[in-house]
Chains A and B, each alone.
Chain A
Amino acid sequence: AQTVTQSQPEMSVQEAETVTLSCTYDTSESDYYLFWYKQPPSRQMILVIRQEAYKQQNATENRFSVNFQKAAKSFSLKISDSQLGDAAMYFCAYFREYGNKLVFGAGTILRVKS
């Protein structure tokens, strides 16, 4: 069974600085997708960034980028120029087509200090 581990229950970052959230996963499959979701206090799940496993190039979306290391099964999220609005719970998730299942990590609470 696939598992996703987020080893940092909570992180803090100063406004305008950079922070990296860690995620590792376990799978025997070669074709899959990885996601980072943001959940602010409103509870809404917001897709931040996604990565296809077959692509070697790391995904980037504005201030958000990932470091995808397939062999190490690592998928970290880097947030540059952190803003107060980035404060939220962040979930790393693994997707496999069979079973239409997203497997989530336990989440990392990100606090942004002004």
Chain B
Amino acid sequence: NAGVTQTPKFQVLKTGQSMTLQCAQDMNHEYMSWYRQDPGMGLRLIHYSVGAGITDQGEVPNGYNVSRSTTEDFPLRLLSAAPSQTSVYFCASRRSDTPLGEQYFGPGTRLTVT
């Protein structure tokens, strides 16, 4: 198993540009999430999905869109990049029936918006 994969690893955008961060998992996990990590703040939940076709907002959803057309993929779209979206982005997944809530994280994408 490759686990949770994210592409790209690094990205630089200009203000106003759009892009999609890719996330895929090969563990057949129902639940997937996107987090952002900013200095001094830990990780914060952006959006999550409990299965194909079902998504919901997390703590900091503004400026981001998600969709879940397959179990494996959960892309995060930045509609119009802003400097405040400079961050490290993590995708995570887990099984719906795990009793311990353990999430598996991807390696992260470092995004800089200039």
Contact = CB atoms under 8 A, between A and B. Distances in A.
A33 interface: yes
A99 B40 CA distance: 23
Nearest to B90: A45
Mostly, the B contact residues are strand
A50 B44 CA distance: 19
Contacts of B103: 102
Given A50-B100, A91-B43, A106-B42, A101 B105 contact: no
Contacts of A100: 31, 33, 48, 50, 94
A99 B102 contact: no
The listed residue with most A CB atoms (<10 A of its CB), out of B35, B42, B94, is B42
Contacts, number: 58
Best-surrounded residue of A91, A99, A102 (most CB of chain B within 10 A): A102
Interface of A is mostly: strand
Given A45-B43, A100-B94, A104-B43, 20 more contacts: A33-B101, A35-B101, A43-B88, A43-B108, A43-B110, A44-B105, A44-B107, A45-B90, A50-B101, A91-B42, A100-B48, A100-B50, A101-B45, A102-B33, A102-B35, A104-B42, A104-B44, A106-B40, A106-B42, A107-B42
Give 5 closest A-B pairs by Cβ, nearest first: A104-B42, A45-B105, A95-B101, A104-B43, A100-B48
Interface of B: 31, 33, 35, 40-45, 48, 50, 56, 58-59, 88, 90, 92, 94, 99-103, 105, 107-108, 110
